[in-house]
Structure 1
Amino acid sequence: MAMAAAVYLNTTAKNWQYEDTSADQADATPSDGSSRALAFHKCQPLYSATPLYSLSSLAKDLGVGYVLLKDESSRFGLPSFKILGASWGVYRAVEEHLKQVGALEATDALRSLSGLGAQAKKWGLKLSTATAGNWGRAVASMAKNLGIPALVYVPSHMPETTRNLIRGEEAEVMPVNGSYDDAVEVAKHAAGTEGHLLVMDISWEGYTQVPEWVVEGYQTMLDESDAQALAVTGGKRVTHAVIPVGCGLIAQAVTQHYKSSVRQRHGSPAATVIAVEPTTAACLRRSLEEGKMTSVATGSSIMSGMNCGTLSTISWPVLKSGVNVSVVVSEAESHAAVQELDGLGVQAGPCGAATLASLKRVCALERGAIGIDETSVIILYCTEGARDYQIQPGPGPMGI
Structure 2
Amino acid sequence: MSEPRLVPNPLVAKGAVGSLVGESRAFHRSMPDYRPTPVAALPAAAARLGVGSVYAKDESRRMGMPSFKILGASWATYRSLLAHLGHRADSGIGLAELRAELAAGPDLRLVSATDGNHGRAVARMAGLLGLSAHILVPEDMVRERIDAIAVEGAEVEIVSGGYDDAIRRSAELADARSLVVSDTSWEGYVEPPSWVIDGYSTMIGEILDEIDAGNIPRPTVVAAQIGVGAFAAAVARGFAGRTGTRLVGVEPTDADCMTASVEAGGITTIPGPQRSNMAGLNCGTPSVIAWPDVSSGYDTFVTVADSAAEEAMRLMFGDGLVSGESGAAGLAGLLSHTGALGLGPDDHVLVISTEGATDIANFNRVTGAALVAE
TM-score (norm 2): 0.91
SS at match of 2:327: helix
1:306, 1:63 → 2: CA distance?
Answer: 27
Could you say which residue in structure 2 is the equivalent of 1:205?
187
How much does 1:107 deviate? 6.3
1:60, 1:277 → 2: CA distance?
Answer: 23
Tell me if 1:248 matches 2:229: yes
Tell me if 1:128 matches 2:120: no
* 2:38 aligns with one of 48, 51, 57: 51
Asked if the contact 1:348/1:382 (under 8 Å) is kept, the reply is: yes
SS at match of 1:17: helix
How much does 1:237 deviate? 2.0
Q: What is the RMSD of the two structures over their aligned residues, measured on CA atoms? A: 1.9
SS at match of 1:163: helix
Asked if the contact 1:130/1:200 (under 8 Å) is kept, the reply is: yes
- Summarize the alignment of residues 20-39 of structure 1 with structure 2, pairs less than 5 Å apart: 20=18, 30=20, 34-39=21-26
How much does 1:298 deviate? 2.9
How much does 1:231 deviate? 4.3
Could you say which residue in structure 2 is the equivalent of 1:377?
348
1:344, 1:144 → 2: CA distance?
Answer: 35
In percent, how many aligned pairs have the same letter? 38
How much does 1:2 deviate? 6.3
Could you say which residue in structure 2 is the equivalent of 1:263?
none
| Gap runs ≥5 in structure 1 | 24-29, 261-267, 392-400
Tell me if 1:110 matches 2:92: yes
Asked if the contact 1:280/1:298 (under 8 Å) is kept, the reply is: no
Change (3 A) 1:363 1:232: farther
Could you say which residue in structure 2 is the equivalent of 1:8?
7
Could you say which residue in structure 2 is the equivalent of 1:285?
259
1:333, 1:251 → 2: CA distance?
Answer: 20
SS at match of 2:137: strand
Tell me if 1:340 matches 2:338: no
Tell me if 1:361 matches 2:359: no
Change (3 A) 1:348 1:19: closer
SS at match of 2:337: helix
1:152, 1:167 → 2: CA distance?
Answer: 9
| Gap runs ≥5 in structure 2 | 363-374
1:165, 1:81 → 2: CA distance?
Answer: 15
Asked if the contact 1:241/1:271 (under 8 Å) is kept, the reply is: yes
Asked if the contact 1:155/1:180 (under 8 Å) is kept, the reply is: yes
Could you say which residue in structure 2 is the equivalent of 1:272?
246
User: Segments of 4+ in structure 1 off by > 6 A?
Assistant: none
1:166, 1:340 → 2: CA distance?
Answer: 29
Could you say which residue in structure 2 is the equivalent of 1:258?
239
Asked if the contact 1:79/1:385 (under 8 Å) is kept, the reply is: yes
How much does 1:69 deviate? 0.4
How much does 1:302 deviate? 1.6
216-225 or 321-330, which moves further after superposition?
321-330
2:158, 2:146 → 1: CA distance?
Answer: 9
Could you say which residue in structure 2 is the equivalent of 1:320?
295
Asked if the contact 1:154/1:175 (under 8 Å) is kept, the reply is: yes
Per-residue CA distance 1:319-377 (angstroms, 9 max, x = gap): 2222111111111111121112111100000001111111112213231xxxx332222
Could you say which residue in structure 2 is the equivalent of 1:226?
208
Q: Which amino acid is 2:36 matched to?
A: A
Q: Which amino acid is 1:47 matched to?
A: Y
Q: Which amino acid is 1:16 matched to?
A: K
Q: Which amino acid is 2:232 matched to?
A: A
SS at match of 1:241: strand
73-82 or 121-130, which moves further after superposition?
121-130
SS at match of 2:328: helix
1:202, 1:87 → 2: CA distance?
Answer: 15
Per-residue CA distance 1:379-398 (angstroms, 9 max, x = gap): 0011000132677xxxxxxx
Q: Which amino acid is 2:354 matched to?
A: T
How much does 1:123 deviate? 2.4
Per-residue CA distance 1:240-274 (angstroms, 9 max, x = gap): 111111011100111122123xxxxxxx4252111
Tell me if 1:67 matches 2:54: yes
Tell me if 1:146 matches 2:133: no
1:336, 1:57 → 2: CA distance?
Answer: 12
Per-residue CA distance 1:77-100 (angstroms, 9 max, x = gap): 00111110001000100111011x
Asked if the contact 1:355/1:381 (under 8 Å) is kept, the reply is: yes
Asked if the contact 1:216/1:253 (under 8 Å) is kept, the reply is: yes
Could you say which residue in structure 2 is the equivalent of 1:80?
67
Asked if the contact 2:56/2:350 (under 8 Å) is kept, the reply is: yes
Q: Which amino acid is 1:254 matched to?
A: V
Q: Which amino acid is 1:116 matched to?
A: L
2:170, 2:2 → 1: CA distance?
Answer: 36
Tell me if 1:172 matches 2:164: no
Per-residue CA distance 1:198-239 (angstroms, 9 max, x = gap): 1100011111111111111001111101122344556x4222
Asked if the contact 1:302/1:390 (under 8 Å) is kept, the reply is: no
Asked if the contact 1:258/1:271 (under 8 Å) is kept, the reply is: yes
TM-score (norm 1): 0.85
Could you say which residue in structure 2 is the equivalent of 1:265?
none
Q: Which amino acid is 1:69 matched to?
A: A
1:2, 1:350 → 2: CA distance?
Answer: 19
How much does 1:12 deviate? 4.2
